[in-house]
Chain A
Amino acid sequence: MLHVENLTASIGDIPILNGLNLDVGAGEVHAIMGPNGSGKSTFAHALAGRDGYEIGGVATLDGANLLDMEPEERAAAGIFMGFQYPVEIPGVNNMYFLRTAVNSVRRARGDDEISAREFLKVAQEAMDLVEMKQGFLNRSVNAGFSGGEKKRNEILQMAVMQPKLAVLDETDSGLDIDALRVVASGVNSLRGPERSIIVITHYQRLLDYIKPDFVHVLVEGKIVESGDHTLALHLEEKGYADFLGDPDAELSGASA
């Protein structure tokens, strides 16, 4: 589904991704772990299409070249990024925002727009999924939301958008244990044979709830180790020390 080959990203003269390789098959859940500054968020933004990076290499989704696309085209192609810091948009109604997003993507795909009434049903199901109250949709997007509410709103959006590939950037950061459980069970219920998920996280904790098929270690802009979920347990115990400052570590390469 997702094919990433020798992906590089830099801001000005500062390289952040240094030849990242990753393949994600349909229905797979991959976790990317790594120390601060290793390029985890940059990788997510490079896939979502944020401006400001010099990008090189290859990234395709079902064969389509993502790197040529605007962010909205990537969304239409099936990419969804869950933000580490969801943006507050005062004055823009959450419900209207969601429906505009869904209809924009439908239009881009040549599908009919969804009616307000029909959408309400879809939104209601998504809200149940993340245990949100009705009033939530009538507030401005993320404005004044608590950290947990923001992250739940991300998962709500994911549920409504039904992406092919979700990239969740540190969705667990700033969550207490209850919110973490809600967010994780939301993600789990969205798992399916046609949907792939990349979970980017700093801590192994989230992976107790969302069990990944593959775990990758990202260090200095490259994937230096890949394995199954036991790799996360190893990292939890030993930290990233094994992988830091070892230029040969990359030889183990990306798998999956």
Chain B
Amino acid sequence: MTLATLPSQAAALDKVSSLDLPTKRDEAWRYAPHKSLANLTFGQGSMPSAVPGDVDAQIPELDGPRIVLVNGVIDAERSDLSAVPAGVSFVGLADVPAAKAPLLDQIHRSADDAFSIINRAYGSGGALIQVDGQPSLEGQPAVLHIVDVLVPGQQQNASTSRVVIDVAAGSSVTVVETRIGSGEMFGGSNVRTEITLAENATVEHVILQDLPAAQFHIGRVDVTQAAGSTLNARLFNLGADYGRVAYHVHLTGEGAHADLSGLYFGFGTQTLDQQVTVVHEAPNCTSRQSYRGVLDDSSTGIWNGGVDVRPGADGTDSEQSNDNLLLSKQADINTMPRLEILADEVSCQHGATVGQLDETALYYMRSRGIHEEEASKLLINGFADQVMDDLENEVVRAWITKRLGHDHE
């Protein structure tokens, strides 16, 4: 059995030619560039004849194994699986043995928006991570790295890939997904991540989205959490003309905890779209959503964060916050906290703020001799750093710091 014959893929391929793309009327896609989305051309992944030179410098140098996908196909030269720690299976989807195919089919079939169907139909490239234990490398908790690179082609300007993460009971792992692109041609990447946490498992999952300004990124992360498990999801949504990541987290076992945070930093005409839904299905689960945005020029930010508390999920404790800094009159933020509560004895808090740079703080810093421009930068970085503080990996932190141009100390 090969992946091409997964039941979910066959069904999706049947549908893909007659798909209805999302419209303004779909709440979760309301601010997406609908017309341009229709110009993305998907198909089976194909490696470009040469990987452009601007790719390598964009990849953070994390210690540990990595899989690099170019247009959804594994780039063996850039991938490094020479030091996969004990307790970890980290393989390309094409190399997954037939016996494990059902694992790949599980969650995949559920999402029914157009880009998920496209991903099912064409996303046969990607990686499967299975973790059993507390993998480490040279005494440090292991970090597994997946890099998704889009190189738009003439025939096909969009790519699809999948990442499937399966963590056994009591195990823990950090996975970093870097999503980048090359060149100035229009195109888009469509990446689907599925994470399954068994009882008491812990996952730190980091997305660094930094595609070029001409391209789109459409990401979707589906998480299923068993009792006592912990998800720490960190999103750095920085690049792309339209950069979107949607999280769908299901807390299915008692006492599961999901902590999601993120930073979006928009310039030019970027639209950065975060869609977060946490579904409390079991009692006594906790969830945190904490997203911060900085929007300059005529960029647009979207934060649509929801908590659904299903019947029986008594003792739910959730908090949502979305704080935004608008640096220009043309910048725009659409912030929408959503709550649906169908259980008892729950505590659900949410808050959103939109502000400008604090003039008084600017004056205070300038009165200390700090030039206006630098004072603004310090304030912006101070705002953004509060998301960085959630990051456990130093290399990832340094990469983001450098990317945001605020190297200090």
Interface residues of A (CB under 8 A from B): 48-51, 70-72, 74-76, 79-81, 83, 86-93, 96-97, 100-102, 104-105, 108, 116, 140, 157, 161
Q: How far is the CB of A126 from chain B (nearest CB, A)?
A: 14
Question: Which residues on the A side are within 8 Å of B371 (C-beta)?
Answer: 72, 104
The answer to whether A92 and B379 touch across the interface, beta carbons within 8 angstroms, is yes
Cβ-closest chain B residue relative to A51: B363
Q: Are B369 and A89 in contact (CB under 8 A)?
A: no
A101: nearest chain-B partner, CB-CB: B368
Contacts of A81 in B (CB 8 A): 367
Nearest residue (CB) in B for A98 is B368
Say yes or no: is B103 at the interface (Cβ < 8 Å to chain A).
no
A224→B336 CA distance, assembly (Å)? 57
Contact A91 B368 (CB under 8 A): no
- CB-based contact A75/B378 at 8 Å: no
Task: Kindly provide the distance from the CB of B258 to the nearest chain A CB, expressed in whole angstroms.
Answer: 24
Interchain CA distance A140-B369 in the complex, whole Å: 18
Contact B368 A92 (CB under 8 A): no
B370:A89 contact, CB within 8 angstroms: no
CB–CB B382/A161 < 8 A: no
Residues of A within 8 A of B340 (CB): none
The reply to whether A104 and B363 contact each other, CB–CB distance below 8 Å, is: no
Given contacts A76-B369, A81-B367, contact A91 B374 (CB under 8 A): no
Kindly state whether residue B329 has any CB partner on chain A within 8 Å. Answer: no
Q: A89-B361, A91-B383, A100-B378 are in contact. Are A72 and B408 (CB under 8 A)?
A: no
Residues of A within 8 A of B360 (CB): 87
Contact A104 B369 (CB under 8 A): yes
Q: How far is the CA of A75 from the CA of B386 in the complex (A)?
A: 29
- Which one of A71, A75, A88, A161 has the greatest number of beta carbons of chain B within 10 Å? A71
Which residue numbers of B lie inside 8 Å of A, CB to CB? 358-361, 363-372, 374-375, 378-379, 381-386, 408-409
CA–CA, A81 to B360, complex, Å? 14
Q: B369 touching A91 by the CB < 8 A rule?
A: no
Residues of A within 8 A of B385 (CB): 91
Q: How far is the CB of B76 from chain A (nearest CB, A)?
A: 42
For A50, A79, A89, A157, the residue with the greatest tally of chain B CB atoms inside 10 Å of its CB is: A89
Provide the residues of chain B in CB contact with A75, threshold 8 Å.
Answer: 366-369
Q: With A50-B363, A92-B379, A97-B378 in contact, is A72–B369 under 8 Å at CB?
A: yes
Residues in chain B near residue A88, CB distance under 8 A = 361
Report the minimal beta-carbon distance from B128 to chain A, rounded to whole angstroms.
38
Residues of B within 8 A of A74 (CB): 367
Nearest-Cβ distance from residue A47 to partner chain B, whole angstroms:
10
Distance in angstroms between the alpha carbons of A76 and B368 in the assembled complex: 8
A105 to B369, CA, bound (A): 5
Q: Are B370 and A72 in contact (CB under 8 A)?
A: yes
Given A87-B360, A104-B374, A48-B367 contact (CB < 8 Å): yes
Is the Cβ of B382 less than 8 Å from the Cβ of A100?
no
Contacts of B369 in A (CB 8 A): 72, 75-76, 101-102, 104-105, 108, 161
* Central interface residue in B369, B370, B384, by most chain A CB within 10 Å: B369
Q: Do B378 and A92 touch (CB < 8 A)?
A: yes
Residue of A nearest to B382 (CB): A91
> What residues of A have a CB within 8 angstroms of the CB of B368 in the complex?
72, 75, 80, 97, 101, 104, 157, 161
Interface hub of B363, B364, B367 (most chain A Cβ within 10 A): B367
